[in-house]
């Protein structure tokens, strides 16, 4: 700014001189210009000087303020400023530094660091000199002061070399810092770290002991390579440690496909912090394959370099046991299904579970949920539901073990008789915790018992029938035998006295009784042959009507003796069909004889012949019916009258006979491929016995062929 003022003054003086020249004499006095213009320039110069002075004072104030701020920073800072000369003697220190090393400033100024009592570097003074001798910036040197048993104090110094204008080294200037607290913290931290390290080492030793002693194979895997394995792992796979460590995990997998599959599933999530489970076949060193399971987890999810820890286990025995258990359970289920025995369990916490057979026995699908009580009651027979519910409740309330029977009705109408046995499950305090029971299908048992009862009843009835038969047979046999013996005795006694006609009468009665006896014996023999399947039939296609006429004519005299009339009604007279004339004639005579015997005197006996079909078979047949006007047959005996030795209860008190006639008729009808049945007349009294014979030749059943 002063240079600008001087330049301006010079310019004004020059202008004033020029104005004093004659050229400008007319306007301004030359000397006046020389006086006025320089004065004006000096004024401007003074004005510039004043302005520059104010600017300098402002800068000085700002410098002082910066110095004050720096002083405040120095005062607040934990660092203290120091200066040393070229001989390393302290020329300036802040009071804080003396306090840090427990010396007064007077005890420090003028002395070198190594001359201060009880003060020394943390390493040695040689290193200190070596650093300062290079006259380069010193980043950090640590000094320690320790006197007697006092705790040590530490100071860290940093400095830069100082050079004068001639670039001559004049000393050092730097800062120092009390690092005692830091050092003590470092010592405490180091001690704590050492303690942690010792603890970690102890834990590591214990972990390694567990690692080595673990019964499960354990391995540390990094990048799918084994880096550490325990003894159990080596024994599991049969490899020596040197052949496993550092090698790929592929060596324990059965195949490349299994190795790649596990890698694809595990690698993307191996550091997720989750435990991975791998079920796959593994292979031993000798090539044997076993079912194994491996559990793996990252050692440190934030540091993949530490890899994963894997546990390996041979589960072949467990899986074989599980398979055996499954087979056993399947066999048990099969046995339960075959035996029709189901079971159920009720647990106070888990609810009710049914076996598959229990579902089936109650008519439910095993794939469906276990039904509730309402659904079960819907399946129990209405007549048994109340009793079933009462017994089930009683067993629960009284703590009884009980069994009872009830019927269930399936959706398709099938009825089963079930036997349920159950008992309560108690804990150690006697509290009810559940119930266990079995359900068994006893339908066949009940049916067998019912069949046994029927068989017993039938046997008893047969025994009674046999007794009646023997009584009747004895009567039937005794009558002709008595006649034979009586007339033979009369003939013998009167042979010389009685006329020949009388003897001839006796012999005729003997012959008639013998024929009757022979007929009884023939009936017995015929029925025996028919039941044994040894009766032969001479089947010939021939007209039926002549055979019927012969049978009626043969029994006409017997009917006339009772004033009865036999009427024949034939739909057609030219009916031709295959039959055995002798056996079918025997059948007709038996039916006509029964009709004559059971019809009242002066009664009407009708014989009808018409075409029809065999019931239930739809085969064209001839229907031959013999209708009487007797007392009829009780409805419950329409089938049993065809059993041997059986007579209708409505007629057995006043009718003779052996009870063999109708059984023989049934066997003859069957032998012709036909059938016979009885029915009561409606309207009117009496019964009708109908024989159905096929019009076409019908093969004889095996049991009636010769």
Convert the pLDDT of each residue in 658-673 to its tens digit. Answer: 677 888 899 899 999 9
Quick: pLDDT tens for 581-600. Answer: 988 998 999 999 999 999 99
Evaluate if residue 336 carries a pLDDT over 80.
no
What pairs with residue 692 in β-bridges? 623, 675
Q: What is the pLDDT of residue 70?
A: 54
Say what percent of the chain tops pLDDT 90: 20
- One of 3.30.450.20, 1.20.1050.10, 3.40.605.10, 3.40.50.300 is the CATH number of 53-209, namely 3.30.450.20
Averaged pLDDT, 332-361: 79
> Cα–Cα distance between 257 and 246 in angstroms, integer?
22
537-704 CATH: 3.30.565.10
Between residues 461 and 537, the one the model is more confident about? 537
> What single string gives the DSSP state of each residue in 586-629?
HHHHHHHHHHHHHSPTT-EEEEEEEEEE-TTT--EEEEEEEE--
CA quadruple 474, 479, 484, 489: dihedral sign:
positive
Query: Is-contact 491 507, C-beta < 8 A?
Result: yes
Lowest mean pLDDT among 138-142, 296-300, 386-390, 520-524: 520-524
Lowest mean pLDDT among 422-426, 472-476, 687-691: 472-476
Query: Is-contact 649 637, C-beta < 8 A?
Result: yes
Q: What is the pLDDT of residue 149?
A: 74
Evaluate if residue 541 carries a pLDDT over 90.
yes
Q: What is the pLDDT of residue 703?
A: 39
Averaged pLDDT, 377-388: 86
214-320 CATH: 3.30.450.20
CA quadruple 489, 493, 495, 497: dihedral sign:
negative
List every span in the chain annotated with CATH 3.30.450.20: 53-209, 214-320
Q: Strand locations in 107-249, DSSP E?
A: 119-121, 138-145, 153-163, 169-178, 217-222, 225-229
Q: What is the pLDDT of residue 701?
A: 45
3-state SS assignment for residue 371: coil
CA 132-138-141 angle, to 5 degrees, is 85
> Cα–Cα distance between 7 and 246 in angstroms, integer?
90
Q: What is the pLDDT of residue 26?
A: 45
> Cα–Cα distance between 295 and 299 in angstroms, integer?
13
CA quadruple 144, 147, 148, 149: dihedral sign:
negative
Q: What is the pLDDT of residue 297?
A: 87
Say what percent of the chain tops pLDDT 70: 82
The reply to whether the predicted model has a pTM over 0.85 is no
> Cα–Cα distance between 420 and 407 in angstroms, integer?
11
SS (H, E, C) 221-276: EECCEEEEECHHHHHHHCCCHHHCCCCEHHHHECCHHHHHHHHHHHHHHCCCCCCE
Lowest mean pLDDT among 297-306, 465-474, 507-516: 465-474
Per-residue pLDDT band at 68 (split at 50, 70, 90):
low
Q: Roughly how many angstroms between the first and final C-alpha of the chain, as a whole number?
A: 163
Question: What is the CB-side half-sphere exposure of residue 563 using CA atoms within 13 A?
Answer: 3
List every span in the chain annotated with CATH 3.30.565.10: 537-704
Residue 70 phi, psi dihedral angles, 5° rounding: -65, -40
Q: Which helix (H) or strand (E) holds 691?
A: strand 687-694
Q: What is the pLDDT of residue 705?
A: 35
Per-residue pLDDT band at 706 (split at 50, 70, 90):
very low
Averaged pLDDT, 85-114: 81
What pairs with residue 448 in β-bridges? none
- Residue 417 token pair: 């008789």
Q: What is the pLDDT of residue 150?
A: 75
Mean pLDDT for all residues in the chain: 80
Evaluate if residue 381 carries a pLDDT over 50.
yes
> Cα–Cα distance between 489 and 495 in angstroms, integer?
10
């Amino acid at each position: 700014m002063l240079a600008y003022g001087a330049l301006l003054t010079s310019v004004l003086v020059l202008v004033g001189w020029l104005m004093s020249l004659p050229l400008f004499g007319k306007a301004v006095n030359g000397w006046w210009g020389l006086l006025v213009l320089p004065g004006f320039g000096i004024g401007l110069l003074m004005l510039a000087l004043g302005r520059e002075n104010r600017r300098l004072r402002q800068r000085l104030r700002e410098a002082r303020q910066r110095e004050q701020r720096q002083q405040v920073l120095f005062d607040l800072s934990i660092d203290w400023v120091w200066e040393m000369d070229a001989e390393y003697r302290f020329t300036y220190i802040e009071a804080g530094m003396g306090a840090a090393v427990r010396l007064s400033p007077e005890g420090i100024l003028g002395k070198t660091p190594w001359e201060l009592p009880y003060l020394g570097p943390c390493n040695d003074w040689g290193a200190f000199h070596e650093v300062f001798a290079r006259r380069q910036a010193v980043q950090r040197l640590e000094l320690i002061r320790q006197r007697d048993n006092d705790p040590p104090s530490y100071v860290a110094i940093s400095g830069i070399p100082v050079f004068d204008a001639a670039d001559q080294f004049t000393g050092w200037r730097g800062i120092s810092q009390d690092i005692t607290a830091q050092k003590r913290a470092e010592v405490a931290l180091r001690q704590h770290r050492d303690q942690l390290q010792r603890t970690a080492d102890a834990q590591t030793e214990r972990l390694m002991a567990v690692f080595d002693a673990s019964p499960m194979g354990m391995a540390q895997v990094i990048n799918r390579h084994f880096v550490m394995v325990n003894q159990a792992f080596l024994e599991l796979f049969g490899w020596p440690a040197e052949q496993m460590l550092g090698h790929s995990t592929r060596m324990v997998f059965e195949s490349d496909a299994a190795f790649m599959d596990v890698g694809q599933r595990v690698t993307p999530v191996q550091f997720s912090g989750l435990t991975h489970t791998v079920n796959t076949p593994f292979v031993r060193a000798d090539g044997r394959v076993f079912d194994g399971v491996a559990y793996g987890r990252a050692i440190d999810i934030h540091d993949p370099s530490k890899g994963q820890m894997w546990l390996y286990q041979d589960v072949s025995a467990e899986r074989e046991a599980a398979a055996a258990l499954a087979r056993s359970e399947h066999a048990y289920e099969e046995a339960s299904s075959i035996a029709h025995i189901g079971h159920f369990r009720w647990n106070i916490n888990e609810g009710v579970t049914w076996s598959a057979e229990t579902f089936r026995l109650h008519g439910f699908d095993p794939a469906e949920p276990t039904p509730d009580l309402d659904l079960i009651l819907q399946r129990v027979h209405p007549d048994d539901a109340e009793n079933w519910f009462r017994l089930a409740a009683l067993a629960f309330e009284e703590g009884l073990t009980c069994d009872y029977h009830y019927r269930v009705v399936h959706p398709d109408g099938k009825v089963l008789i079930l036997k349920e046995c159950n008992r309560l499950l108690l804990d150690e305090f006697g509290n009810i915790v559940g119930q266990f029971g079995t359900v068994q299908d006893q339908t066949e048992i009940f049916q067998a018992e019912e069949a046994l009862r029927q068989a017993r009843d039938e046997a008893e009835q047969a025994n009674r029938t046999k007794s009646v038969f023997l009584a009747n047979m004895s009567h039937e046999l005794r009558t002709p035998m008595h006649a034979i013996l009586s007339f033979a005795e009369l003939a013998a006694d009167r042979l010389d006295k009685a006329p020949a006609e009388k003897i001839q009468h006796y012999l005729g009665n003997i012959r008639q009784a013998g024929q009757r006896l022979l007929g009884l014996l023939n009936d017995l023999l015929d029925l025996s042959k028919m039941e044994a399947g040894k009766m032969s039939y001479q089947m010939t296609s021939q007209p039926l009507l002549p055979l019927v006429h012969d049978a009626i004519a043969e029994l006409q005299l017997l009917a006339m003796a009772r004033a009865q009339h036999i009427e024949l009604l034939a739909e057609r007279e030219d009916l031709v069909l295959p039959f055995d004339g002798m056996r079918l004639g025997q059948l007709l005579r038996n039916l006509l004889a029964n009709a004559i015997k059971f019809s009242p005197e002066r009664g009407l006996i009708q014989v009808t012949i018409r075409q029809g079909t065999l019931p239930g078979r739809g085969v064209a047949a001839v229907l031959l019916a013999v209708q009487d006007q007797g007392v009829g047959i009780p409805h419950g005996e329409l089938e049993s009258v065809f059993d041997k030795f059986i007579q209708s209860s409505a007629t057995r008190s006043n009718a003779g006979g052996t009870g063999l006639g109708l059984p023989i008729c049934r066997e003859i009808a069957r032998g012709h491929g036909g059938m016979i049945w009885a029915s009561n007349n409606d309207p009117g009294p009496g019964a009708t016995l109908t024989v159905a014979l096929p019009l076409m030749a019908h093969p004889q059943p095996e049991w009636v062929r010769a």
